[in-house]
Structure 1
Amino acid sequence: MGRFDGKTAIVTGAAQGIGEGYARALAAEGANVVVADLNAELGETVAKQISSDGGTAVFKDVDVSDEESAKQLAEFTVEKFGGIDYLVNNAAIYGGMKLDLLITVPW
C-alpha cells in the first residue's frame, strides 16, 4: 500500500529531470500521475515507462504559460481520473524570457 493510493497528481515539466523524478516517485507510491509537458516525445516515454513499471500514468501536453492549455490539462485530468488531489508546479515558464517580461505572463 502506497502513501498516495487512490490519489491523482499532475506533474508539470515531467518529461525529464526533477519533474520526471517527481512523477516516478508519486507513481511508485500509488498515485495516478499525469505527466504534463511541452515535449510530447519525452513525456509519452516517461508515462509509458511508469506504466510498464506497474504504475498508472498518462501524458498530456501542456504549455503552462497559456491559461487555456492549463485549463485543458485540468479538464483532461478530471475526465481521466475523476479529480485532482495534487499538483506539482515544476515546469518553468521563464526559461527563454527576459526577466522584465515575467510580469507580463497572465496568472
Structure 2
Amino acid sequence: MARFTGRTAIVTGAAQGIGAGYAKALASEGANVVVADLNAERGEATAKEIVADGGTAVFHRVDVSDAESATALADFTIAEFGAINHLVNNAAIYGDMKLNLLLSVDWDYYKKFMSV
C-alpha cells in the first residue's frame, strides 16, 4: 500500500527504537521521511536503511528543546520536499534520564527534560 505517497513526514527521535520504526513504516507507505534526531551517526544510518529498502528519506540533526533548531528542521524539510504534512513527535531523553526524582535534579536538567 502507499497511503502516504506524495506526503512528507518528520519523525523526531527517529535514529533508533520506536522512532526508527515510525520512519520506516511511513517510508514503506510512500512518505518522504525526514529522520530527525540528535544522534547523527544512527540517524544517518536509519535514513540510509530506508533508502536502501526503496524509500525516500534524509537525515537532519535536531534538538527539539531548542526553538532555533526546530525551526531549522522545518525550513530544511520544506526546502527538501516542499511541504510538511505529518509530524511524529517521538523525541525523548528517557535513555539519559537521571534515576533520581525530578524534584531533586538541578534546574537546567529539569528545564531540558521538560522542553524535550
Same-fold call, TM > 0.5? yes
CA distance in 2, matches of 1:29, 1:80: 19
The alignment's C-alpha RMSD in Å is: 2.1
- Is 1:47 the counterpart of 2:47? The answer is yes
CA distance in 1, matches of 2:61, 2:22: 17
**Alignment partner of 1:99 out of 94, 99, 102:** 102
Partner residue of 2:107? none
The percent identity for this pair of structures is: 66
Q: CA deviation at 1:93?
A: 4.8
Q: Which amino acid aligns with 1:62?
A: V
Q: Contact conserved, 2:93 with 2:113, CA < 8 A, in 1?
A: no
Structure with a larger share of its residues in helix: 2
Structure 1: any 5+ residue segments left out of the alignment?
Answer: none
CA deviation string 1:49-87 (max 9, x = no partner): 100110000000000111100000000000000010000
CA distance in 2, matches of 1:68, 1:99: 26
Structure 2: any 5+ residue segments left out of the alignment?
Answer: 104-109
Return structure 1 stretches of 4+ with deviation > 2 angstroms. 93-107
Q: Contact conserved, 1:67 with 1:106, CA < 8 A, in 2?
A: no
| Structure index of larger Rg | 2
TM-score normalised per structure 2: 0.83
